[in-house]
Amino acid sequence: MMKPLDLVKWRKKNGYSQGKLGKALGVAPLTIYRWEKAMREIPHFLHLALKYLELKGGEIEAEDKRKSKVRKKTV
Whole-number Å distance between alpha carbons of 68 and 45 = 30
Spacing of C-alpha 64 from chain mean position: 13
Domain assignment of residue 14, given as a range: 4-74
Question: pTM (2 decimals)?
Answer: 0.75
Over residues 36-75, the pLDDT tens digits come to 999 999 999 999 999 999 998 756 555 666 666 666 666 6
- As a dihedral over the C-alpha atoms of residue 47, residue 55, residue 37, residue 32, rounded to 10 degrees, the angle is -110
Whole-number Å distance between alpha carbons of 44 and 33 = 17
Task: Say how many domains are in the chain.
Answer: 1
Q: Assess whether pLDDT exceeds 70 at residue 11.
A: yes
CATH code of 36's domain: 1.10.260
Residue among 26, 32, 31, 29 nearest 10 (CA): 32
